Structure 1
Amino acid sequence: MPAHDLVVVANRLPVDAHLREDGSVEWEPSPGGLVTAMESVMRNVDSGAWVGWAGSPGEAPDPFEADGMQLYPVMLSAEDVARYYEGFSNATLWPLYHDVIADPEFHRTWWDAYREVNERFAKAAAAVAAPGATVWVHDYQLQLVPSLLRDARPDLRIGFFDHIPFPPFELFAQLPKRNQVLRGLLGADLIGFQRERDALNFLTSVRQLLGYTHHQHEITVPGIGSAPARVVTAKAFPISIDSHAVGEMAEDPEIQEAARTLRHELGDPRKVVVGVDRLDYTKGIRHRLKAWGELLNDGAIDPDEVLMVQVATPSRERVDAYRQLRDEVELTVGRINGDFASIGRPAISYLHRSLDRRAMTALYQAADVVLVTALRDGMNLVAKEYVASRPDELGVLVLSEFAGAADELRAAILVNPHDIDELKTAILRALAMPEEEQRAAMQSLRRQVLDNDVQGWAHAFLGELESAGRAQDVPTGPTVRLTGDAGPSREELTSALSEFARTPRILVASDFDGVLAPIVADRDAVQPDPTALGALRELAELPGVNVALVSGRTLTDLDHHTQMPSSVVLVGSHGAQVGALPPDMDAGTLDGAGTQMDDERERLLESITATLRRIATQHPGAEVEVKPSAAVLHTRKAKGRYAANATEVALEYARTLPDVKITPGKEVVEFSVVDSSKGSAIQTLARACAADAWVYLGDDVTDESVFEEIGDNDLGIKVGTGDTAATFRIGGPEDVAGVLEELLALRRG
């Protein structure tokens, strides 16, 4: 799969599918603020990709190129759309983040889907990002992706931009799973917001809920256990539009003629007032219509001279709140027209559909006044598009102070849309404004919009991202030699084993659970494959061969389940415990100083064990295993959400333990008071037996520390699927015995 230097991750791809008459699919640019903003950015990148949903539930199409961009679709099922998108994203987060204009709904199954879909997006992005690439994640639907990407690819520069408001702490604190959302966002190096107050709301929530300190806009995020702290920057980057492209359209004689034609078709009214919005309860459409209806009823506006045009782009029509809003808006428009319209001349011309960019620019040029009355909005690009569409420097913008654009477009008539009387006064002021005053205000607005376009926004964000966190050492990303379930053929593995078997001195090592024995819920009931164990025993008796079992289990437990002879070295607790060595290995090579327990470590381990037992008690099915130098939380037997919740609580606790090594694995989290790893254990054993090469079989994330150490003559065999640093892959534990027997036969030969 190609590797890209810049990867944009957003809920939707920037294109929509349209069926041609011959049945083939044509991809056309889709409407929307993010697509409009990012389109020009992607065109100026040498190696860029966009990861997102194609818009239809079901299997995702293969990666493709459209409109000059390389696109990687992510699959969403109909259930994902209902729970992740319409549910948690738009019925939980959207209303909560918009000041609870509508009541948010909370359902745990929605959270489950949200987490699962975010994992899917993160995996897709990690697969197409080049080493050290920049990944730019967008918007509230994907707030967990930065942390998931950080775990999978710490080499990446990760940015997140929040296109909608971030709520005050008092509102955000209502969100179930609020800490998980914050930690998801803090996986980024840079978090961008539309307004300074959004950034301050986020910083307050991080301080109040997670207890992390921040200096101005820089947050110190502690590592898990002994992992180093990171610095995350959170600040405002107001988004803009491609003002050059809009300006070119506005100068097009055909569009200017279309604007004149449009006014004529509307009956050549003295004034045209326009509202352009997505049909959403945050846009203040109901407040606007109420004010307009009252102005007509007051006689302050003559419907034969002043016409209102309302464009309401369809939005989320499967969500109840949006269906209800459409009904209310259409009933209100019908009532106002019934009360005040003349025959053949409506008081409000209402369009419930999307207009293309050229038609929209013509409408802006036909408008004497544009009303942007959002009750809460991250930015609102309609305001900026209107300004960029008026090279004649005429027209009036009435702008809600609760839209992000109000921070920049101070020359607009700013209004509190909740105050209907104030809104009515602002409309009348806009209709009566003389041309000289219009020009002065529009000149100021146009300077702001034209001097701060989308290219400047993207350049500012990406420039900040490049330097964000550079005070810390940028971690090296994990080596990934094999992805998914891909790997060399079985014949290639046989060839490599044959060459390895001819090496004078070799070390043969293996993990236990998931390799020599299938993983089971009851760890004490594990049943290793006798054929695999037999092959290891026989290998250990051959000249120039040493064998080791390296496991997260304790030495006593490992010995109990394997019954290996003294010729096989047992390594427990991820390398913290090493059993007796056979005579041909140099015991002096083992440096035990770092693995010795003392009184301080014993007390720390007791404290950790007590805390993990409390966590296990609160999450039925979770269990705690105590090792000589570690305590382990097991969640294999935990039912439903108890497993994920117990893991989350354990990792939250891990952030308070700066001197402890934390190793998350398959349904386990190990807290070790001794700094050890399987990788360092294998390297030490290889030196102790003077091995010329080694082979290792492993299945878990803890085995990646071994695969990372692979030299030119070594072999790493991943058992199962998943991205890995191993050089070969086999299907599962059922294939391990065959590989070991093959190696035994080759070595004997």
Structure 2
Amino acid sequence: NAGNRLVKVDVFPMGIDYRRFASAVEDPEVRDAIRRFEKKLEGQKVILSIDRLDYTKGIPQRIQAFDLFLERNPQYKEKVTLILAVVPSRTGVEQYAQIKNRVDELVGKINGKQGNIGWMPIWYMYRFQSFHSLVALYNVADAALVTPMRDGMNLIAKEFLATKTDGRGVLILSEMAGASKELGEAIVVNPNNQDEIAWAIKEALTMPEEEQVERNRIMQKRLNRYNVVRWGTDFIDALSNVKKIQLALSVRKLTEEMQKKLIRSYWQSDNSIMLLDYDGTLVPFAEKPQKAKPDEGLLNMLDALGESPKTEVVIISGRDKETLDKWFGNRNLGLVAEHGVWIKDRGKPWETIEPLRDDWKEQMNPILEWYEDRTPGSFIEEKDFSLAWHYRKADPQLASIRARELKDELLQLTANLNLGILEGSKVIEIKSVGINKGRAALHWLSRGGWDFILAIGDDWTDEDVFAVLPESAYSIKVGLSPSKASFNLDSVWEVRSLIEGLVRV
């Protein structure tokens, strides 16, 4: 939810025109090229390396790994050839010229050291390849060596597999290529580890044909199904779906006309209640929770509503009761702390909805501490009957990974402990099962007699409140996302504007 738009982040691994590459093997021009290559390479095992000239492709490291393979496996001398096809790239850039000089130097050195008058271990081609020549090279290769240092996807690996119509051939693939996440049946290697690549070359050359076919058929089926057409269709469908959701949510947006109707309903009521979340609803989120204190303007509005004899205002928060007492304890408000653990009627002491235990904290706290130590910027918040791990200030990428790991671990550990896991905005909280904001809201709603009910919240913990409301209630979700609420507002400031309108009544 970015402002007034829903933004979706997803993964769409790019496909290839699988049938074009597979069918091209039978093209007469390709068959002629295959025969020419096979004649030149007769009696040789063929390893293919094809890439555009780029520092991310790891071409020098690949050449050195092949040299290491020959050093360790002298029995393959005169029996294996590395076809090193390099496609020119950015020829006017000095850094790329340096890479080419390095490749030229390594090829010359290794051919001079390892080769002889009748055998050249590296067949070096520095030129653009036609489609027919490319397919022929893929087809004649016994193994493809695709080991970039960093690559978003790498379609060469996929094209190689598409041309292996008889199922034979082995793909050696860098773990740093995005394609490795799809092609797990390949021999996956660390491109920085020449020992590992040298081992993989031998593994590829000695792999039984039936194993080659078994591995390749699995990958080929996957690539044929998720081809370039499917990739494009999935992307457009996902984009269209987001727009449909945005349109549906825009229809639910609390318009100016609906706001006037809501305010008029409040004005005409005799017994009204407002159930308001705090963080992300009445105030923006802060890097540190203690900094999200209520400002004077908000307090004045809450006081004005709370002092009305016909209005009950309840703040339903995930905060601890000490903080809520400090900020709102002397005001004419109902309070709910720790997502429903503690409730406080106006002018009365705090009480729990039911007797609760907190001895489980001893088991859970060390786990949260482990994640706190390994996620700089995160911290633990301990409440009376819950524990929360906040990661708003942590590096977003690392925090996202750690949050998934922690949630998975906690779900397993708490399965038989009568504990629930709440995932809020940049926070994961552990608390007793059955305690939620909706149950706390029923403490007030069950009294009946309300002729105006308004509930506002911003995250999924507030959905429990929306779920227990009668149909006549006004429910508002802050942010553009699906919800049980009847309406949406874009931001805290729109909520404040609405409350200001209610105060003026």
- Deviation digits for residues 540-581 of structure 1 (CA, Å, limit 9, x no counterpart): 455754321112234453233124555x32222211222226
1:738 is displaced (CA, Å) by: 2.7
CA gap of 1:385–1:513, structure 2 versus 1, over 3 A, is closer
The 1-side partners of 2:342 and 2:302 are apart by 20
Residue 657 of structure 1 is matched in structure 2 by: 414
1:493 is displaced (CA, Å) by: 4.8
Q: What RMSD, in angstroms, separates the aligned Cα atoms of the two structures? A: 6.1
1:695 is displaced (CA, Å) by: 1.9
- The residue identity in structure 2 corresponding to 1:729 is L
CA gap of 1:677–1:371, structure 2 versus 1, over 3 A, is same
**What secondary structure sits across from 2:438 in the alignment?**
helix
- Deviation digits for residues 160-185 of structure 1 (CA, Å, limit 9, x no counterpart): xxxxxxxxxxxxxxxxxxxxxxxxxx
Instruction: State the TM-score, normalizing by the size of structure 2.
Output: 0.60
* Residues 500 and 713, structure 1, Cα contact 8 Å, conserved in 2: no
* Residues 612 and 624, structure 1, Cα contact 8 Å, conserved in 2: yes
Question: In the TM superposition, what are the counterparts of 1:130-141 in structure 2 within 5 Å?
Answer: none
Residue 251 of structure 1 is matched in structure 2 by: 26
- The residue identity in structure 1 corresponding to 2:461 is T
Question: In the TM superposition, what are the counterparts of 1:88-487 in structure 2 within 5 Å?
Answer: 242=18, 245-257=20-32, 263=36, 269=40, 271=42, 275-279=47-51, 285-286=63-64, 309-312=83-86, 329-335=103-109, 349-352=123-126, 355=129, 357-363=131-137, 367=140, 370-372=141-143, 374=145, 384-385=161-162, 387-388=164-165, 418=198, 454-455=220-221
Question: In the TM superposition, what are the counterparts of 1:544-559 in structure 2 within 5 Å?
Answer: 545-559=311-325
CA gap of 1:667–1:256, structure 2 versus 1, over 3 A, is closer
1:691 is displaced (CA, Å) by: 3.2
Residue 729 of structure 1 is matched in structure 2 by: 489
1:508 and 2:274 are equivalent in the alignment: yes
The 2-side partners of 1:382 and 1:455 are apart by 13
- Deviation digits for residues 480-518 of structure 1 (CA, Å, limit 9, x no counterpart): 9769x9773652452452464356754212123444445
**What secondary structure sits across from 2:256 in the alignment?**
helix
Q: Report which stretch shifted further, 518-527 or 690-699.
A: 518-527
1:694 and 2:453 are equivalent in the alignment: yes
Residue 562 of structure 1 is matched in structure 2 by: 328
* Residues 273 and 452, structure 2, Cα contact 8 Å, conserved in 1: yes
CA gap of 1:9–1:642, structure 2 versus 1, over 3 A, is closer
1:709 is displaced (CA, Å) by: 5.6
1:580 and 2:339 are equivalent in the alignment: no
CA gap of 1:375–1:496, structure 2 versus 1, over 3 A, is same
The 1-side partners of 2:81 and 2:402 are apart by 60
Query: Using CA pairs below 8 Å that are at least 6 residues apart, which structure has the higher relative contact order?
Result: 2
The 1-side partners of 2:400 and 2:133 are apart by 50
Residue 604 of structure 1 is matched in structure 2 by: 360
The 2-side partners of 1:521 and 1:295 are apart by 58
The 1-side partners of 2:437 and 2:481 are apart by 18
The 1-side partners of 2:138 and 2:50 are apart by 16
* Residues 273 and 313, structure 2, Cα contact 8 Å, conserved in 1: yes
- The residue identity in structure 2 corresponding to 1:253 is P
The 1-side partners of 2:131 and 2:401 are apart by 47
Instruction: State the TM-score, normalizing by the size of structure 1.
Output: 0.44
Listed as ranges, the gaps of 5+ residues in structure 1 are 2-6, 15-34, 40-241, 391-396, 408-415, 428-440, 461-479, 584-591
State which of 441, 460, 463 in structure 2 corresponds to 1:682: 441
State which of 490, 496, 499 in structure 2 corresponds to 1:740: 499
1:533 is displaced (CA, Å) by: 3.6
1:621 is displaced (CA, Å) by: 7.7
The 2-side partners of 1:515 and 1:709 are apart by 19
The 1-side partners of 2:27 and 2:340 are apart by 72
CA gap of 1:292–1:724, structure 2 versus 1, over 3 A, is same
Taking only the aligned residue pairs, the percentage that are identical comes to 21
Question: In the TM superposition, what are the counterparts of 1:28-67 in structure 2 within 5 Å?
Answer: 35-36=15-16, 39=17
Residue 9 of structure 1 is matched in structure 2 by: 11
CA gap of 1:653–1:595, structure 2 versus 1, over 3 A, is farther
Listed as ranges, the gaps of 5+ residues in structure 2 are 2-8, 52-56, 149-153, 174-182, 188-195, 227-243
The 2-side partners of 1:629 and 1:453 are apart by 50
**What secondary structure sits across from 1:9 in the alignment?**
coil
The 2-side partners of 1:259 and 1:498 are apart by 79
1:629 and 2:375 are equivalent in the alignment: no
Residue 473 of structure 2 is matched in structure 1 by: 714
1:338 is displaced (CA, Å) by: 7.3
The 2-side partners of 1:352 and 1:364 are apart by 17
The 2-side partners of 1:453 and 1:259 are apart by 23
1:457 is displaced (CA, Å) by: 7.1
* Residues 622 and 646, structure 1, Cα contact 8 Å, conserved in 2: no
* Residues 246 and 385, structure 1, Cα contact 8 Å, conserved in 2: yes
- Deviation digits for residues 451-480 of structure 1 (CA, Å, limit 9, x no counterpart): 7673467779xxxxxxxxxxxxxxxxxxx9
CA gap of 1:324–1:375, structure 2 versus 1, over 3 A, is farther
- The residue identity in structure 1 corresponding to 2:165 is A
* Residues 364 and 389, structure 1, Cα contact 8 Å, conserved in 2: no
**What secondary structure sits across from 2:294 in the alignment?**
coil
* Residues 185 and 216, structure 2, Cα contact 8 Å, conserved in 1: no
